Amino acid sequence: MKRSRRVSPTQAVLFMMTLISVVGLALIFFFVIREGYPIFSKVGLGKFLLGREWLPTRGLFGALPLILTSLMLVVGSVLVATPLGVGLAIYMVEYSPRPVRRFLKTIVELLAGIPSVIFGFFGITVFIPLTRHYFGSSGFGLIPAIVVLAIMILPTITAVSGDAIRAVPRENRLIVQALGGTRWQTVRRGVLPSAFRGIITGTILAEGRAIGETMAVLMVLGNAPMMPKALNQPAAAMPSQIALDMAYATGDHRVALFALGAVLLVFAAVLIFAARRVGRQRR
């Protein structure tokens, strides 16, 4: 060990600035769980997570309809967005000429920057009438929510899988080409297998974004906290229900909303764990 590794005051200050993130994260977990915990001891963790009825006015706090809806939104939007997002990434890295790639990069970045409340508004004015017209319901429900979410998570999928595709060594492509492969075979056989983990990482990160998305979902989902029955019927997801009810919730209801927040935190943490695991094994 070198003894000369004295820590300068500057280094100490900078280290503490870095620690703010850790402290902030710890405080978030602490306060959200502290405020939400009483509902677990009152209703019971199992009954909270698996209860099928969310009727705060009657003291029923079963979060299963909200959790299920959130999961359906995640699965639905990732199923829609992954082929598009990965396809776009493949096109950008493997096919497009330089100016087109830069143009598309700007498009994807702009799409990523649009606030969720504007997506929600666009959903209300464009996707709700479309859903009403084609699926004959009020228009609010899982279908417009999945479409809006898919658009919102597409940039994440494109960015992360694009990085993974770019990181594939040139030799992989050259080998397939030397064997007489077409451009698509080069992508299919030479690039995608090596980039696979990166693409999965991208979809997991996108799932994290989808499960926590609040405003856009709140504005198009219809917010009916019942077990989801059909894709064209209103439903309610965890984050949107929190945002909606927080305006007036008191007592146990408020506690239950924080408990929902804690459940959301756990989901987000699990997804980050998964993304890091998948991402790391690549090396």
Partner 1 sequence: MTSVMRKIVDRMMFALFIFIAAVVTAFLVYFIFYIVSRGYTAFSWTFLSTAPHGIKMEGGVLPMIVSSVYLTLLTLLIAVPLGVGGGIYLAEYAGKGRIVESIRFAIDLLSSVPSIVFGLFGLVLFVQVMGLKYSMLAGALTLTLMVLPIILKISEESFRAVPDAYREASLALGATKEQTIFRVVLPTAIAGILTGAILAAGRAFGETAAVLYTAGMAPLAPVSPLEGGRTLSVHLYLLATTGHLEEAYRVAVVLLVIILLFNLASNWIMNRYRRKFVSEAI
Candidates 162, 168, 183; CA nearest to 105 is: 162
Q: Please pick, from the candidates 97, 113, 136, 251, the single residue that binds partner 1 as defined by CB under 8 A.
A: 113
Our finding on whether 99 is near partner 1 (CB under 8 A) is no
Give the DSSP letter of residue 224. -
Least separation in angstroms between residue 75's CB and partner 1 is 17
Least separation in angstroms between residue 49's CB and partner 1 is 17
Cβ closer to partner 1: 185 or 230? 185
For residue 250, the one-letter residue type is T
Cβ closer to partner 1: 107 or 230? 107
Candidates 222, 40, 55; CA nearest to 127 is: 222
Residue list 173-212, contact with partner 1 (CB under 8 A):
182-185, 187, 205, 208, 211-212
Our finding on whether 249 is near partner 1 (CB under 8 A) is no
Strand pairing partners for 61? 54
- Give yes or no for a contact between 49 and 263, defined as CB atoms under 8 angstroms apart: yes
Give the DSSP letter of residue 57. G
Our finding on whether 75 is near partner 1 (CB under 8 A) is no
Binding mask 140-179 for partner 1 (x = CB under 8 A): -----------x--x-------------------------
Our finding on whether 134 is near partner 1 (CB under 8 A) is no
Q: Determine the size of the site formed for partner 1 (CB under 8 A).
A: 78
Residue list 215-244, contact with partner 1 (CB under 8 A):
215, 219, 239-240, 242-243
Q: Please pick, from the candidates 62, 144, 225, 261, the single residue that binds partner 1 as defined by CB under 8 A.
A: 261
Least separation in angstroms between residue 58's CB and partner 1 is 23
Interacting span for partner 1 (CB under 8 A) from 30-38, 50-58, 136-144, 190-198: 30-38
Whose structure tokens read 């919730």? 249
Q: Where are the alpha helices (DSSP H) in the chain?
A: 9-43, 45-50, 64-90, 98-113, 116-122, 128-135, 142-166, 170-178, 183-185, 192-212, 215-220, 238-245, 251-281
- Give yes or no for a contact between 76 and 146, defined as CB atoms under 8 angstroms apart: yes
Our finding on whether 91 is near partner 1 (CB under 8 A) is yes
Q: How many CA atoms lie within 13 A of 13 on its CB side?
A: 3
Our finding on whether 74 is near partner 1 (CB under 8 A) is no
- Give yes or no for a contact between 67 and 283, defined as CB atoms under 8 angstroms apart: no
